[in-house]
Each structure stands twice: as C-alpha cells, then as structure tokens.
Homo-oligomer: A and B are copies of this chain.
Amino acid sequence: METELIQKQTALVTGGAGFIGSHLVDRLLMSDFRVICVDNFILGRREHLAEAMQDPSFSLEEFDLLDLERLDQLFADEDIDIVFHLAANSDIREGTTSTDRDLNLTFLTTYNVLECMRRHELKKILFTSTPAIFGEHTEALHEESSARPESLYGASKLSAEAFIVAFSSLYGIQSWICRLSNIVGERSTHGIILDLLNKLDSNKKELEVLGDGTQTKPYMYVGEIVEALMFIFENSDERTNIFNIGPRDATTVAEIAEALLVAAGDGQKIVYSGGDRGWKGDVPLYRYRPSKLEALGWPKPMSSTEAVRVAIAKVLESR
C-alpha cells in the first residue's frame, strides 16, 4: 500500500473548485493521481469537491494565486509532477468593466505559477485557454488563426499563453495549451444556461435573452472536455502542445433558449434585447476547426447541439 502511494503522480489543479476544475479533480483521482487543489473560492464552490473530499489522495489549499510567497511555499513543500492550471476569471463580461480583474486573476496568476515552476524546477503544465484570444474571424478557427482579442479576458489568456511558451523555451518546461470552446454542464458557475435558468425562475412571463439570438458558438459537454484534456496530455509530447478543442458545429443562442423553455419553462415568451452580441467584448459568432486534435486520433465529441441538450438535462437534474 505504501509503495503504491509513493508511485502516484501528484497533480496540482488550480481553480480546482471551479466548474471544469472540479470535474478534472474527480477524473484525476479516478486515474489514481494524488491531487492538490488550490482555489480562492471567488467562483469555485466547496460543494463541487464533496466527492473529492472523501478521497485520501485529495487535499485542498485555500488561497489566492496572486499570493506568490504562499504559492512558492506550496511548491517547496509538495513534490508536484504536473500543474493543471485552470484558475482564471472566467466571467468575460465582468472583466470589461473591472479592467484589472483579468489582468490579475487570469494573467498574473499564470505568471506566478510559471515563476514558481521555474524556481522549483517543475517541468509540466497544462493550461486551459480560450477562443477569445482570436477575436472575430469569418473562417473556422484553427491553431494558427491570427490572435486579435476583443476582451480583456482574451488578452489575458493570450498573454498567459505567451509567457507559457517563453518559459517552456527558456526553462525546459513542457506545456499543453488547450483552447476550450464554450463548455456546458453541471457545476457551471456562470454562462448562458445558468443565466437563462435563473431568469426563468424569476420571471414567469418572459425570458429575456441578451442580443438578437443569432450569436452562434460551439458548445461542448464538460464530461467530454475533461476526457479531451487527459487525451491531449497523454498523446501529445512536443515541448509546447497547442490545441483548439471543440466540435465543428455550433449552436445559436435562440436554439438554447428554446431548448431551455421546453425543458424547464413555464410558458414564458422569449424576448430578445437586440444587437448582434450579448455584451461589449463578446465575440458573437465563431466556429472551430479541430483538425489537429482529430489527427491525433481524438474520438469525435457529441455535436454542439447535443452537448447543449445533455447539459440542460444534467444541470436541471443537479438543481
């Protein structure tokens, strides 16, 4: 038993109490990793870790990654093999009004993680990035599409990528940069499904939808994204591994609103606020061309529209 424990790999998951982070924590524990979760609980929730807390291979550290000295101490104390760095301000809309929110929570947190990895000679990091780094494009996004972010969230994630690439090159760190499409499913802390469900609860007559309903994005179910992250980590072995992850199709906001009304509505009428985007900094339409991931033998995920349907069912089930 003791030998077995010694052989376990140790993963640090930042943002591990968050939406995707907590699913990844569960998945890593299932794969026999020892898991240390760091979360500041701004967006993360303790109840997402209810299952993990039962596992002796799991431990939780509550602090903010902006606290460099505390993070440094953790790296000194623990023998970490890989960092899954998911912590970020995932609320893009909020980041447009508080201009230093993404700078701090999305970018500088990443810098601190990299700096501690350098100091303690850690050699592996998997980072979750975003199509928001690209800004508006007419063609489907591939890994080499030009990056022109239109939100501070996108700019912060692009900056984080830039520093990961440079640290990888300078200090012999291997990195996996995974740009996730929109993710939906249970435990989400924000996003369209949750927003609309809350609105359905509070208004029995109308369902107000931001924008004109035509915003179109590829959605992926959280259970599948966690599998994709593990697949990429296990099957791609370059110094820097960059992948766009998401389905090829996409779903409109109107389709999501209608599916939600069918699943959870009370006969509300959909009212669109108008305009081609939900808020300033929102990219109203994008598609993904995940050829690089497909070439690696990635099992095709469910379609975007199917992912939305599954996510709605799972979210309702978990309420």
In the bound complex, how far is the Cα of B151 from the Cα of A159, in angstroms? Answer: 13
A281–B170 CB distance below 8 A: yes
Question: Which secondary structure characterizes the binding site on chain A?
Answer: helix
Q: How many copies does the complex hold?
A: 2
The reply to whether A147 and B169 contact each other, CB–CB distance below 8 Å, is no
A281 CA / B172 CA spacing, docked (Å): 12
Whether A155 contacts B147 by the Cβ 8 Å rule is no
Contact in complex: B148, A159 (CB < 8 Å): no
Complex interface: chain B residues within 8 A of A159 (CB):
107, 155, 158-159, 162-163
CB pair A162 B147 closer than 8 Å = yes
Q: Which residue from chain B places its CB closest to the CB of A68 in the assembled complex?
A: B100
Please encode chain A, from 200 to 223, with 1 for each CB lying within 8 Å of some chain B CB and 0 for all others: 000000000000000000000000
* Extra contacts besides A96-B170, A103-B111, A133-B162 (11): CB < 8 Å: A99-B115, A135-B165, A152-B166, A152-B170, A154-B166, A155-B162, A155-B165, A155-B166, A159-B159, A159-B162, A170-B280
A interface residue numbers (CB < 8 A to B):
96, 99-100, 103, 107, 111, 115, 118, 133, 135, 144, 146-152, 154-156, 158-159, 162-163, 165-167, 169-170, 240, 280-281
